[in-house]
Structures are given as structure tokens and as C-alpha cells.
Chain A
Amino acid sequence: EPEVTQTPSHQVTQMGQEVILRCVPISNHLYFYWYRQILGQKVEFLVSFYNNEISEKSEIFDDQFSVERPDGSNFTLKIRSTKLEDSAMYFCASTPSSGANTEAFFGQGTRLTVV
């Protein structure tokens, strides 16, 4: 069964450093997303991406965050200068099309720890 894969599974970084979280969405999917989950809290939407541009972003997704699809398979989330409060699980997701009834497939997540 096709799946969304994320690397690394765990990333530890020092405050102020840049991190790049990587995702390989399902190959025939066209819409890509990043969500985050602070420990013990709910999953929060960060950004959606389609046709090589951001289609929607939340207030969490400030100018410290960026996303990119550098090639035909990878989808990355970059945090330019990490803060302690960026520590969370980051989930990548993809869907084959848009629309509220389209099932989103999630990766297993990257645990980001900022120290």
C-alpha cells in the first residue's frame, strides 16, 4: 500500500538553527500538507501546497517557515531559526485531489526537539 514517508524520524537541534524536514508524498497525489502536534495537544494545520505554491497557511506558519517541492518527489518544511516552542511532531500529508471529502494520508511524523 502506498504511504507517505518522512525523514528523519527524530531531529534534535539547537535554538536558532535551521532545520529541514523531509517528506515523500504518495506518488500520484497533487496536494501536500504539513501539520504539527505539540506533545499532548491536538494536530494543527500549518500549510497546504499545490501546483508549486502555497494554497493556504495558518497563523502558525509565519516567515520563519517555508515549504518547497524541490523535485518531483520530495516536499520539505524549513524552519529558518528554530525556537523552543517549535518542538513538536511534524506530520506531512498528501491527497490526490482537493475537496473536503478527500482522504488525507499522513506520514509517521518527525519529532523535532529544539534545545
Chain B
Amino acid sequence: GESVGLHLPTLSVQEGDNSIINCAYSNSASDYFIWYKQESGKGPQFIIDIRSNMDKRQGQRVTVLLNKTVKHLSLQIAATQPGDSAVYFCAEAFSGGYNKLIFGAGTRLAVHP
């Protein structure tokens, strides 16, 4: 069946270091992969997405990498800041639908000064 999951439930990094959050997915038919950030007490917030026909996309301090061969998605955060502390979810979406998102389990990123 469909599933999107995460390798690491918790990631602790030092402020200024780069962070890498990983995600494995199982549905080859997904068209888009999205990373969401969820701060305590808030709803998920869009960070960056990538189409299935791409392997890399960069945003401001974030990069998403997609490896369809091994069905792996990662989010790289450069120069991690305390404000990056949150739970990060990967999600997948399918064209032709109504933007239903299938979320992974989440990774907590803790940034230490």
C-alpha cells in the first residue's frame, strides 16, 4: 500500500551546522513531494516541494533532493538556526486529484546553541 515514512524520529544539531532530514516513500506514482514544517501549537507550514521528474530543488537555505531509484527524499537545511527547531514532515501528492496529501511520520529537529 501507499506509505511515506521517515528514517529518524529525532535529529539534534548545533546552531550553524547543516541538517539533513530523510524520508522514504513507497508509491512510485506520486507526482510531487513536499516538505512541511510544524512548530509547536501550529499547523504544518509549506517549506519546499519537488516534482517527480526533478532530482534537486533549492530554496532559501533549503534544498530538497529526490532519488526515485531508491524512493528517497531528503531536506537539507543550511546553517541551521534555533528558529528551525520544529517537526518536519514529508508528504506526497498526486496529479489529477484534489491535492490530497499523504504525510510521513515526522522528524523532530532540535537546534542547540
Chain A residues within CB distance 8 Å of chain B: 4, 31, 33, 35, 41-45, 48, 50, 55-56, 91, 93, 95, 98-109
Contact = CB atoms under 8 A, between A and B. Distances in A.
Given A4-B43, A106-B43, A101 B98 contact: no
B98 A50 contact: yes
Given A42-B104, A43-B89, A102 B43 contact: no
Most chain A Cβ neighbours within 10 Å, of B41, B44, B49, B105:
B44
Contacts of A48: 98-100
B95 A108 contact: no
B interface secondary structure, majority: loop
Contacts of A45: 100-103
Nearest to A57: B100
B36 to A, nearest CB: 8
Contacts, number: 72
Interface of B: 30-32, 41-46, 49, 51, 89, 91, 93-106
A104 B99 contact: yes
Contacts of B99: 31, 33, 48, 95, 98-100, 102, 104
Given A33-B99, A99-B99, A101-B32, 17 more contacts: A4-B43, A43-B91, A43-B101, A45-B100, A48-B100, A56-B98, A98-B98, A100-B31, A100-B93, A100-B99, A101-B49, A101-B51, A104-B46, A105-B46, A106-B45, A109-B42, A109-B43
